[in-house]
Amino acid sequence: MGDLLKVAIPKGRIVKHIHRLFQEAGLPLPEELDDSRKFIIPAHEMGMEFIVAKPADVPTYVEYGVADIGIAGKDVLLEENRNVYELLDLGIARCRFSVIGLPDWKPVLNPRVASKFPNVASQYFREKGQQVEVIKLNGNVELAPLIGLADRIVDLVETGNTIRENGLVELEKITDITSRLIANRVSYRMKNDAVQRLCDRLQSAVTAAA
């Protein structure tokens, strides 16, 4: 029991990608992970236990060691900046961070930038030497330029549908994003066999999918 690998899995639209990847790795996940309101899902036959987390909380659980490993988007890792090992690029949930605005956007002094990722947005503009005021929002960030809350936004673009449907354009790409396998630093050493085995199987599935 002590050697169960505790795995933090983000809930939401990424779950179907995770199911497919684990399936291809020969590790079919419990179906309860899909739609259950149960947040701890044992899979002792796999030597694992799954913790169903809000995506942004996965690195926190892993840093504190309540999960040995987890799956987190690079977006969340950049924003949360947690002390965890990044083991593997899973190549799923591929999207990008971009600066987005109205097509007739014009530079202004001290522009307001809205984002669900205030640290990422602040760091990007700081590195460019541009002074901006970052406004943290919790979702539907594309509204901000439309209703005059912000001049631009920093957000994820996957298909581009959301920005298109709201009449916005991508002004600058910040960086590409995929999901990563992350590990707690102590678990990585103490449960190295189990972590490495999982990592190797997922690596094969990632390579096969590429």
Give me the residues that bind ligand PRP (CB under 6 A), please: 116, 139-142, 155-162
Residue among 107 and 139 whose Cβ is closer to ligand PRP: 139
Residue among 95 and 183 whose Cβ is closer to ligand PRP: 95
Backbone dihedral angles phi then psi of residue 128, each to the nearest 5 degrees: -85, 0
Residue among 49 and 80 whose Cβ is closer to ligand PRP: 80
Smallest gap from residue 173 Cβ to ligand PRP (A): 13
Smallest gap from residue 97 Cβ to ligand PRP (A): 10
Smallest gap from residue 5 Cβ to ligand PRP (A): 28
Cα(11)–Cα(173) distance, rounded to whole angstroms? 26
Angle between helix 192-209 and helix 15-24 axes, rounded to 10 deg: 100
Residue among 140 and 196 whose Cβ is closer to ligand PRP: 140
DSSP characters over 142-190: THHHHTTS-SEEEEEESSSHHHHHTT-EEEEEEEEE-EEEEE-HHHHHH
Residue among 151 and 155 whose Cβ is closer to ligand PRP: 155
Smallest gap from residue 12 Cβ to ligand PRP (A): 7
Cα(164)–Cα(22) distance, rounded to whole angstroms? 33
Smallest gap from residue 159 Cβ to ligand PRP (A): 3
Quickly tell me which residue has 């602040």 as its tokens.
122
Cα(79)–Cα(89) distance, rounded to whole angstroms? 17
